[in-house]
Structure 1
Amino acid sequence: MDCPDCGNEQTRVIDTGTSADRTSVRRRRECQRCSFRFTTYERPEWESLQVKKRGGTIESFDRQKLRAGIERAVEKRDVTETTVTSLVDDIESELQDREARIVSSSLIGELVSENLRALDKVAYIRFVSVYKTFSEPQEFLRELDAVLDSELDDFEAPDEPQ
């Protein structure tokens, strides 16, 4: 492991433990040349998630790619970075909890859609318009109507007492 400060190859492990999420090993290291201390995290390769794309190709799960998609959907909305991080953590955790190490991109899209619908309706519409590859304005309008109908159901006045 190269020192991130001076680039020296000679570092030693001074402490080892399990990460807070218990999915990786945390190691505290120290450079033997400059005494710079840093932390590394090791995750077993066999535990990494794989994503099966629509075209049939399989690639490694990319947390940053998931985050970028969510950030595009919530752009200029009142959604904090902390909320986005929490959403990404929740989705990744849900995927990790599954038995299968290969998950479909459509499953990831559905999880993001569900979470965004509960979080911000505009971000949800933005996301599904790309995820579901709307090609006609009518498709967009149908989805928007479904969101608006559910909003109206939420705001209906309770029955008046008789």
Structure 2
Amino acid sequence: MKCPFCGNLNTRVVDSRPGKIDLEVRRRRECPECSQRFTTYERVEQIPIMIVKKDNRREEFNREKVLTGIKKACEKRAISINQIEDIVDDIERNLREINDREISSKFVGEKVIEALKQIDDVAYVRFASVYRDFKDVADFIQELKGMISKECLPLEFNAISDKPDDR
């Protein structure tokens, strides 16, 4: 394995253990040249999951893309990178368990929304606003109304007319 710090091709494995997801091995490596340590993950190559986009284009599932989207939604929130990675791991595991080679992007997006709703309301609304393509403040209000019981809302908020949900 090539050292990411100095480029040396001769690194050694210091520690090996099972990864967070099935069929993954986490390895701690050390470079004899620069003495830096780094972590690599080894995974069994699996049949790619194809994601069917809204416009019917197909692209291979990219866990980094999901991770980036969740990180953006969780910016400046008290959510650890480990929690975020656990969400992505769970979603990927769930997709692989379906045993369907093509899965709609809507299904993946809803899985992310469900997971974020469990850990942080603000991150959930941020992700939902982009994923569900909120057009204006009324869309945000509609989403928030669904999250909060009527008794908790101020009278002015309840007085706002309901916009029909056209999603």
TM-score norm. by structure 2 comes to 0.68
SS at match of 1:76: coil
1:99 aligns to 2:99 (yes or no): yes
The 1:26–1:143 alpha-carbon spacing in structure 2 relative to 1, beyond 3 Å, is closer
Q: Is the 8 A contact 1:24 1:43 kept in 2?
A: yes
Alpha-carbon deviations, 1:115-157, whole Å to 9, x = none? 11111001111011100001132111100111122895xxxxx
Residues 141-156 of structure 1: matches in 2 within 5 Å?
141-149=141-149, 152=152
TM-score norm. by structure 1 comes to 0.70
Unmatched runs of 5 consecutive residues or more in structure 1? 9-17, 28-33, 153-162
Q: Is the 8 A contact 1:51 1:60 kept in 2?
A: yes
The 1:142–1:64 alpha-carbon spacing in structure 2 relative to 1, beyond 3 Å, is same
Shift of 1:102: 1.3
Distance in structure 2 (CA, Å) of the matches to 1:151 and 1:93: 39
Distance in structure 1 (CA, Å) of the matches to 2:151 and 2:115: 16
Q: Is the 8 A contact 1:116 1:124 kept in 2?
A: yes
The 1:42–1:118 alpha-carbon spacing in structure 2 relative to 1, beyond 3 Å, is closer
1:62 aligns to 2:62 (yes or no): yes
1:43 aligns to 2:41 (yes or no): no
SS at match of 2:127: helix
Aligned to 1:111: 111
**Aligned-residue CA RMSD (Å):** 3.4
Alpha-carbon deviations, 1:67-91, whole Å to 9, x = none? 0110111110111111111111111
The 1:25–1:151 alpha-carbon spacing in structure 2 relative to 1, beyond 3 Å, is farther
Distance in structure 2 (CA, Å) of the matches to 1:119 and 1:59: 29
Distance in structure 1 (CA, Å) of the matches to 2:131 and 2:45: 30
Paired amino acid for 2:87: L
Paired amino acid for 2:93: S
Distance in structure 2 (CA, Å) of the matches to 1:74 and 1:80: 9
SS at match of 2:23: coil
The structure with more radius of gyration: 1
Distance in structure 2 (CA, Å) of the matches to 1:95 and 1:63: 11
Residue correspondences, number: 142
Aligned to 1:128: 128
Shift of 1:23: 3.1
Distance in structure 1 (CA, Å) of the matches to 2:53 and 2:85: 23
The 1:151–1:110 alpha-carbon spacing in structure 2 relative to 1, beyond 3 Å, is farther
Distance in structure 2 (CA, Å) of the matches to 1:148 and 1:90: 27
SS at match of 1:97: helix
